[in-house]
Amino acid sequence: MTVVEDRPATAEAPRPKRPNRLWALLRNSWRQLTSMRTALVLLFLLAVAAVPGSIFPQRGVNRERVAEYFTNNPKLAPALDRFFAFDVYASPWFAAIYLLLFTSLVGCVLPRVREHARALTAVPPQAPKRMERLPHHESGIRRPEDPAAAAAEIAKTLRRNRWRTRARETPEGWTVSAEKGFLKETGNLFFHIAMLGVLIGVGFGHWYGWHANRLLVEGQDQGFCSALPQFDESVLGPRVEAGDLPVFCMRMTDFESTFQTTGQPKSFEASVDVSEEGGDYRQRRFTVNDPLRLDGATINLIGQGYAPVLRFTDRFGAQQTATVPFLPTDLMMTSEGVVQFPDVNVDPNGERDPKLQMGFEGVFLPTGGTDGSALSQFPAEDNPVLYLSAYRGDLGLDSGKPGSVYALNREKIADGDLQKISGERPYVLRPGEKWTLDDGTTLEFVGTQRFATLSIRHDPTKVSLLIGSIVGLIGLMLSLYVHRRRVWFRVLPALPADGEPAGGSVIESGGLPRTDYPGFGDEFAALTRQIQEGKR
Amino acid sequence: MAELSNQLMALTVLAYLAAMVCYAGEYAFGKRSHIGKAANRQLVGAGAPLEEIPEPPAKRSKGDLIGLIAVGLNILGLALHLGTTVTRGIAADRMPWGNMYEYILSTALIGSAVWVGVLIRKPAVRHLGLFASLTLVVLLGAAALVAYTPVGPLVPALESYWYVFHVSTIIISSGIFLVGVVPALTFLIKDGWDAGKRTFPFTLGRHIGDAGVLERLTFRLHAFAFPLFTFGALIAGPLWAEASWGRYWGWDPKEVWAFISWIVYAAYLHARATPSVKRTTATWIAIVGFVTMLMNLFGVNLFFEGLHSYANAG
Ligand code: HEM
């Protein structure tokens, strides 16, 4: 890849001025040529470099799948990780390629901008001596005017057709040179510059943006505010601090979803009360494709589920109620979760027995089957049922180690500190039912609340990116569909012919498409006809 | 209606298959048709008025007749294909592009329509019929065998007008890219033949029209589809993703492969605009682009798991 390494450096290096213009021209064209080839090589490298990101799970896309990959391939994964296989698009080698590509782009576009600016102000060149060598050529066109007037008339016609035109007097007569299609290069430059802008915009968005996730359960007392500890997960850009986040609080008052008979979701809609900047709570609604747009954050609805509400009555008659989200594991929303009561069975005189903490683990089925299967039959709550197993002992929540809120502490169960006190088969609870355990304590399945998973995100540059890409697209279309072409007319005084007085002009025309342009022949023919017939 | 759509699908594949056999038959008869030759001449001198086509010869050769039958079958296939797609849409009561099966069906329909359009305007390209119908048969066959999904409504994430822009533009541009591979491949074959290669794939080049015309056709199809694909994949797609998932770009496998295809096709346009790069090299890049499109149509859906729910096969 020597081309890759040496190109951008040499392109920008100042060089001594050469007196020989031919030599400079050669050098220039050589440089142009190599740079285009470099761009090609780099484009290819970029395409190839993007492939592993679709083969290996990516941390930026799905953290859990990466963790899974590590568990399944304990040897291979760390080795791959050293090559950033799980962070392809944030890896130094990916960055190296696109930075080189964009350096090359700058090195290529800047001189072209200068050149194009010059071309835009330059006059169309003088007609070639031998027009019949041009790809398109016509001779013997006659006009009644003398050459000067005819040339003026031709120039007028051309200008009306938006050609850049220049008429010149020569010793023999007149020539008219015209050129058209500068928008091609203009569009091409806009396209490449817009791409530069988009890349820079993406970079800025990464620096100054942030995103977070939050699982929000329906209910007045389940709301949250935009503070980092209240998010389940958050990633701030390198230039964002916790204090920069916009201030808002929200709680969900209602969540509705409907489903197809196949179980595919048909619609979701969340109703929330939102307070921004400490103001009053106001009601807002949002759905899957219509996010909640707050000042400084966009909130998307990306998932949903059920949170069973469970009330535990302990040995001393004290009650505690917990609303716990159960995470859906399939399309029909078979959901798994745990309910933990660390502060129950506390003696009224304050004696705490860590062996008497309570935990329950199981699945919630919004629509239980008649056959007692542990899989939900439908995602809506047609026949909600909860299958639970009860555990008593030390939940291990005080150990300081962060544990999952969706599973009981396996170590404590293995050590026997946390013991299963229900039978082999899980206990079946329906809403309103109560389960009396061996020690007389009870667990009541009060009902369920819905929950929504929210993605909260701020991308400060996204509007500029959109504008940039539209400019780029327009530039691209100009670049591809406009054609640069030249035409020339040589206007000479007509020689006296038999029976005709001298006067009038004979005209020869030539045309040169400067890019592959199959329609040019027609255009040239039409133009020549127009000149010949002297009408527009 | 869904039943009808499935039956029409089978008939469509049969019609394309029959057209393919006839195209192959015309090939086998070996005689370059007079119409083909004449039209070829007309193509080379692009822009020449239509009247210059000489009178069709009084008696047609057998090859010619079979070729015409092939074209007829091809058009019949297109009509059936249209019927399949429309009835599918009616059965589902929405646009027929809600899952991978329908997506391929619609993409191939665009490809087929473009092909027939080119065929009618420039009869000389009939010699590419074998390749075009083969591509269609393979695509539709794969769709029916690998990707078939019963009729069902859309998941809510797909109910957005950005989705309509996103998917329709991608379907149209992919269809054109997919057809673009036909002149690309035949150009390479013909170019090899002209260069004196006489081994198998190049021997097919004996009856293929002018290499330059094929090369230009390749370029024009790609140059037409590229901005459309840019809009669909890199503008409408991110707009929809932003509204639906909160982020405009997330390196989901579908997005990765759309990006790869885009870069490869950009490389093709570059290569073609670079005088020092041979046209055959440039054309090979277009073929690599075709492979990446196939990867996105089939591979990504089958091998990787992503957010694009409609991508799931079966
Ligand atoms: C970021 C990667 C790039 C992409 C995606 C890209 C894309 C494109 C596309 C699609 C075209 C086709 C327009 C046409 O044919 O008229 C084009 C043309 C062109 N590009 Fe790029 N480009 C990139 C980088 C570069 C670089 C680094 C250079 C300089 C070395 C460059 C120089 C050119 C030139 C000179 C043309 C005009 C070709 C012509 O039509 O004569 N591009 N580019």
**Whole-number pLDDT of residue B154:** 61
* A84 domain-assigned: yes
Instruction: Please report how many Cα atoms fall inside a 13 Å half-sphere around the Cα of residue A156, on the Cβ side.
Output: 9
DSSP A448: E
Q: How confident is the model at residue B128 (pLDDT cuts 50, 70, 90)?
A: confident
Residue A436 CB burial class (10 angstroms; 0-12, 13-18, ≥19): exposed
Q: Which residue has the higher pLDDT, B25 or A536?
A: B25
3-state DSSP call for residue A464?
Answer: helix
Query: What six digits make up the tokens of B38?
Result: 């004449």
Q: What ligand 1 atom has the least distance to the C-alpha of B263?
A: 5
Closest of A141, A139, A108, A120 to residue A42, by C-alpha:
A108
**Whole-number pLDDT of residue B164:** 79
Cα separation of B250 and B233, whole Å? 13
- Which of these three, A68, A84, A118, is where a domain ends? A118
Locus of tokens 């009247």: B51
Inter-axis angle of helices B161-194 and B129-146, nearest 10: 140
Q: What ligand 1 atom has the least distance to the C-alpha of A104?
A: 27
Cα separation of B185 and B171, whole Å? 22
In this structure, which residue's CA is closest to atom 41 in ligand 1? B273
Closest of B302, B308, B309 to residue B142, by C-alpha:
B302
In this structure, which residue's CA is closest to atom 20 in ligand 1? B270
Cα separation of B211 and A512, whole Å? 23
Q: Which of A39-53, A382-396, B66-80, B300-314 has the lowest mean pLDDT?
A: B300-314
Residue A172 CB burial class (10 angstroms; 0-12, 13-18, ≥19): exposed
What value does the mean pLDDT take over residues B82-92?
87
Residues 6+ apart with CB under 8 A from A85: A52, A56
Q: Calculate the alpha carbon distances from A301 to A457, B159, B245 in Å.
A: 12, 14, 7
What value does the mean pLDDT take over residues B127-137?
84
Instruction: Please report how many Cα atoms fall inside a 13 Å half-sphere around the Cα of residue B240, on the Cβ side.
Output: 22
Residue A37 CB burial class (10 angstroms; 0-12, 13-18, ≥19): middle
- DSSP for B90-115 reads HHHTS-S-SSHHHHHHHHHHHHHHHH
**Whole-number pLDDT of residue B34:** 41
- Number of residues that make up chain A: 536
Cβ contact, residue pair A37, B304, below 8 Å: no
Torsion angle of the four alpha carbons B176, B182, B187, B189, in this order, in degrees rounded to the nearest 10 = 160
User: Do A241 and A320 reside in the same domain of the chain?
Assistant: yes
Cα separation of A532 and A139, whole Å? 11
Which residue, among B259, B268, B290, B300, would best test binding to A if mutated, counting the most A CBs under 10 Å from its CB?
B259
Q: How many other CB atoms sit within 10 Å of the CB of residue B148?
A: 14
User: Do A453 and A410 reside in the same domain of the chain?
Assistant: yes
**Whole-number pLDDT of residue A264:** 79
Which residue, among B94, B244, B249, B277, would best test binding to A if mutated, counting the most A CBs under 10 Å from its CB?
B244
Report the residue among A188, A200, A482, A514 best suited for mutation to probe ligand 1: largest number of ligand atoms under 8 A from its CB: A188
How many A from CA of A214 to the centre of ligand 1?
A: 43
Phi, psi angle pair for A434, to nearest 5°: -120, 145
Judge whether residue B303 has pLDDT over 80: no
Q: A46-71: per-residue pLDDT in tens? A: 999 999 988 888 887 778 888 888 98
* Interfacial A residues in 213-272 facing B (CB < 8 Å): 260, 262, 264-268
What value does the mean pLDDT take over residues A12-19?
52
Pocket of ligand 1 (CB under 6 A): A 35-36, 39, 43, 101, 104-105, 108, 188, 192, 195, 479-480; B 266, 269-270, 273
Cα separation of B134 and B182, whole Å? 10
* A304 domain-assigned: yes
Closest of A351, A144, A36, A68 to residue B276, by C-alpha:
A36
Phi, psi angle pair for A54, to nearest 5°: -95, -15
Cα separation of A51 and A146, whole Å? 68
Query: What six digits make up the tokens of B113?
Result: 């329509």
What value does the mean pLDDT take over residues B163-186?
88
Closest of B276, B161, B268, B186 to residue B223, by C-alpha:
B268
* Interfacial A residues in 428-487 facing B (CB < 8 Å): 455-457, 459, 462, 465-466, 469-470, 472-473, 476-477, 480-481
Cβ contact, residue pair B271, A40, below 8 Å: yes
Residue B34 CB burial class (10 angstroms; 0-12, 13-18, ≥19): middle
**Whole-number pLDDT of residue A1:** 27
Cα separation of B125 and B71, whole Å? 11
Cβ contact, residue pair A291, B246, below 8 Å: yes
Q: What is the 3-state secondary structure (H, E, C) of B144-177?
A: HHHCCCCCCCCCHHHCCHHHHHHHHHHHHHHHHH
Q: How confident is the model at residue B306 (pLDDT cuts 50, 70, 90)?
A: low
Locus of tokens 């008696």: B59
User: Do A515 and A417 reside in the same domain of the chain?
Assistant: no
User: Do A62 and A82 reside in the same domain of the chain?
Assistant: yes
- Among the partner residues B157, B223, B249, nearest to A289 by beta-carbon distance: B157
What value does the mean pLDDT take over residues B184-198?
87
- Among the partner residues B216, B234, B244, nearest to A469 by beta-carbon distance: B234
User: Do A39 and A138 reside in the same domain of the chain?
Assistant: no
Q: Report the gap between the CA of B81 and the closest CA in chain A (Å).
A: 27
Q: Report the gap between the CA of B126 and the closest CA in chain A (Å).
A: 20
User: Do A450 and A528 reside in the same domain of the chain?
Assistant: no
- Which of these three, A397, A425, A458, is where a domain ends? A458
Provide the b/e sequence for B45-69 (b: ≥16 CB within 10 Å): eeeeeeeeeeeeeeeebebbebbbb
Q: Report the gap between the CA of A44 and the closest CA in chain B (Å).
A: 7
What value does the mean pLDDT take over residues A103-128?
90
User: Do A300 and A254 reside in the same domain of the chain?
Assistant: yes
Stated as kind and residue range, the H or E segment containing A12 is helix A2-12
Q: B21-60: per-residue pLDDT in tens? A: 888 877 766 544 444 444 444 444 333 344 444 444 445 5
Q: Calculate the alpha carbon distances from A410 to A362, A423, A506 in Å.
A: 14, 18, 99
Q: What ligand 1 atom has the least distance to the C-alpha of A479?
A: 16
Q: A355-388: per-residue pLDDT in tens? A: 889 999 999 999 988 777 788 999 999 999 999 9
User: Do A446 and A313 reside in the same domain of the chain?
Assistant: yes
Please indicate if any CB of chain B lies within 8 Å of the CB of A126.
Answer: no
Q: Report the gap between the CA of A57 and the closest CA in chain B (Å).
A: 9
Cβ contact, residue pair A288, B274, below 8 Å: no
Q: Which of A119-128, A230-239, B190-199 has the lowest mean pLDDT?
A: B190-199
Q: Number of CB pairs < 8 Å for A and B?
A: 138
* A433 domain-assigned: yes
Closest of B167, B6, B172 to residue B85, by C-alpha:
B6
Query: What six digits make up the tokens of A209?
Result: 């943006």
pTM above 0.90, yes or no: no
Q: How confident is the model at residue B158 (pLDDT cuts 50, 70, 90)?
A: low
Torsion angle of the four alpha carbons A138, A142, A146, A148, in this order, in degrees rounded to the nearest 10 = -30
Cβ contact, residue pair A36, B273, below 8 Å: yes
Cα separation of A460 and A504, whole Å? 67
* A262 domain-assigned: yes
Report the residue among B173, B270, B274 best suited for mutation to probe ligand 1: largest number of ligand atoms under 8 A from its CB: B270
Judge whether residue B298 has pLDDT over 80: no
* A343 close to A333: Cβ distance less than 8 angstroms: no
Q: Which residue has the higher pLDDT, A305 or B143?
A: A305
Task: Work out the mean pLDDT of chain B and round it to a whole number.
Answer: 80
Q: A419-440: per-residue pLDDT in tens? A: 899 888 899 999 999 999 988 8
- CA distance from start to end of chain B: 19
What value does the mean pLDDT take over residues B234-250?
88
Q: Which residue has the higher pLDDT, A35 or A42?
A: A42
Predicted complex ipTM: 0.83
Judge whether residue A3 has pLDDT over 50: no
* A25 domain-assigned: no
- Which of these three, A441, A458, A475, is where a domain ends? A458
User: Do A361 and A317 reside in the same domain of the chain?
Assistant: yes
Cα separation of A6 and A13, whole Å? 11
Q: How confident is the model at residue B155 (pLDDT cuts 50, 70, 90)?
A: low
Phi, psi angle pair for A266, to nearest 5°: -105, -45
- DSSP for A163-223 reads -EEEEEE-SSSEEEEEEE-HHHHHHHHHHHHHHHHHHHHHHHHHHH-EEEEEEEEBSGGG-
Please indicate if any CB of chain B lies within 8 Å of the CB of A529.
Answer: no
Torsion angle of the four alpha carbons A235, A238, A242, A247, in this order, in degrees rounded to the nearest 10 = -80
Cα separation of A442 and A331, whole Å? 32
User: Do A354 and A421 reside in the same domain of the chain?
Assistant: yes
Q: A433-483: per-residue pLDDT in tens? A: 999 998 889 999 999 999 999 999 999 999 999 999 999 999 999 999 999
Judge whether residue B300 has pLDDT over 80: no
* A26 domain-assigned: no
Q: Which residue of B lies nearest to A470 if distances are taken between CA atoms? A: B235
How many domains are there within chain A?
3
- Among the partner residues B216, B260, B277, nearest to A518 by beta-carbon distance: B216
Torsion angle of the four alpha carbons A509, A514, A516, A518, in this order, in degrees rounded to the nearest 10 = -20
What value does the mean pLDDT take over residues A129-136?
90
Q: A309-322: per-residue pLDDT in tens? A: 999 999 888 899 99
**Whole-number pLDDT of residue B219:** 94
- Number of residues that make up chain B: 314
Amino acid at A475: G
Query: What six digits make up the tokens of B121?
Result: 């305007």
Q: How confident is the model at residue A10 (pLDDT cuts 50, 70, 90)?
A: very low
Stated as kind and residue range, the H or E segment containing B256 is helix B253-273
User: Do A80 and A156 reside in the same domain of the chain?
Assistant: no
In this structure, which residue's CA is closest to atom 7 in ligand 1? B266
Torsion angle of the four alpha carbons A352, A356, A361, A365, in this order, in degrees rounded to the nearest 10 = -90
Cα separation of A120 and A164, whole Å? 10
* A412 domain-assigned: yes
Q: How confident is the model at residue A4 (pLDDT cuts 50, 70, 90)?
A: very low
CA angle A167, A173, A176 (to 5 degrees): 25
Torsion angle of the four alpha carbons B123, B127, B130, B136, in this order, in degrees rounded to the nearest 10 = -40
Percentage with pLDDT > 90 across chain A:
49
Q: Report the gap between the CA of B250 and the closest CA in chain A (Å).
A: 7
Domain of A525, in residue numbers: 124-181+483-533
Q: A157-195: per-residue pLDDT in tens? A: 999 989 999 999 999 889 999 999 999 999 999 999 999
**Whole-number pLDDT of residue B60:** 56
Please indicate if any CB of chain A lies within 8 Å of the CB of B46.
Answer: yes
Judge whether residue A27 has pLDDT over 80: no
**Whole-number pLDDT of residue B312:** 41
User: Do A101 and A134 reside in the same domain of the chain?
Assistant: no
DSSP B31: P
Stated as kind and residue range, the H or E segment containing A416 is none
Q: A244-285: per-residue pLDDT in tens? A: 999 999 999 999 988 888 787 888 899 999 999 988 999 999
* A136 close to A512: Cβ distance less than 8 angstroms: yes
CATH number of domain containing A145:
3.30.160.110
Task: Work out the mean pLDDT of chain A and round it to a whole number.
Answer: 87
* A425 domain-assigned: yes
